[in-house]
Amino acid sequence: MVEKYTREQFWKLYEKLPQELKDALFAEETADNIDDICKRSKVSENLKEIVEYVGHALVGALSPDKFQEIMEKELGFKKNIAKKVTQEINRFIFYPVKDSLEKLYNMEIISSARTEATSPSATEKEKNVSKRKDTYREIVE
């Protein structure tokens, strides 16, 4: 569940933000992007809640990596809808300010394309392959 903040608590968080995140929080482009995402995903009835969750993420109160989970639990979205909305929010809202968000959350924000390519299982396989002895190499003296 997303923690509720009073107006005063929200503004205290806001005051500590880097200017880039302050600008993104109240940018018309951010609002337009959220509206477009909701229309494309056919979840416009949840626009207010999604705007609130994006705001929480931009002020440091909701980690972007928990966004899909929140969509599923709090709004009751099916996994595929929550994933689609989250991917678009990451792409159009969080990614343009990723450096500031990474500093705020001390985490790395990666694109969804890179996520699949660098999954833990792929990394584990690479480690195992590099540890294996190469029987095809000749010894050079």
Is residue 30 one of the residues assigned to a domain?
A: yes
Give the total number of structural domains in the chain.
Answer: 1
- Domain limits for position 70: 7-131
Is residue 140 one of the residues assigned to a domain?
A: no
Is residue 91 one of the residues assigned to a domain?
A: yes
Cβ-Cβ contacts under 8 Å for 67 (sequence gap 6 or more): 53, 57, 86, 89, 90
- pLDDT higher than threshold 80 for residue 102: yes
- pLDDT higher than threshold 80 for residue 18: yes
Residues in the chain, total: 141
Residue-wise pLDDT for 26-63, tens only, equals 999 999 999 999 999 999 999 999 999 999 899 888 88
Query: In the chain, helix, strand, coil percent, each to 5?
Result: 70, 0, 30
Whether the pTM exceeds 0.75: the reply is no
